Copies of this chain bind each other. A is one copy, B any other.
Amino acid sequence: MAEENVIYIGKKATMNYVLAVVSQINNGCNDVCIKARGRAISRAVDVAEIVRHRFVKDLGYKDVKIETEVLPGEHGETANVSSIEIYMER
C-alpha cells in the first residue's frame, strides 16, 4: 500500500483522524490503512468504527494485523510496544 494511504494515529482528538481517513477516501483512495501503537490502539479502533458507521458506509475491513515493535529506550535498552494495522477498503 502506498505510504500516503496510511493514517498514523497519535494523541490528537479522535475526530481529527476520522477526518483524515474520510478525506483520503473522498480523494479517490479505495483503501486505507490505520496504524497505531500502544495506548493509541483503542483510538485507532474508534476511528475505524466511526468512519465506517457514520461517514463511509460501504467501507469494510480487509485485514487487521497485530504485532510487536521493538523500540530503542532512553538508556540503550529496548521497549516492546504492541501495534495494530487496520486495513479497510470499499
Residues on A facing B (Cβ under 8 Å): 38-42, 45-46, 48-49, 53, 61, 64-68, 80, 82, 84, 86
Give every chain B residue within 8 A of A65 (Cβ-Cβ). Answer: 64
Given known contacts A41-B41, A41-B42, A45-B41, A53 and B68 CB-to-CB distance under 8 angstroms: yes
Give every chain B residue within 8 A of A53 (Cβ-Cβ). Answer: 68, 80
**Is B82 a contact of A66 with CB atoms below 8 Å?**
no
**Shortest distance from the beta carbon of A42 to any chain B beta carbon, whole Å:** 4
Given known contacts A45-B82, A82-B42, A66 and B68 CB-to-CB distance under 8 angstroms: no
**Is A67 a contact of B39 with CB atoms below 8 Å?**
no
CB closest chain-B residue, reference A40 = B42
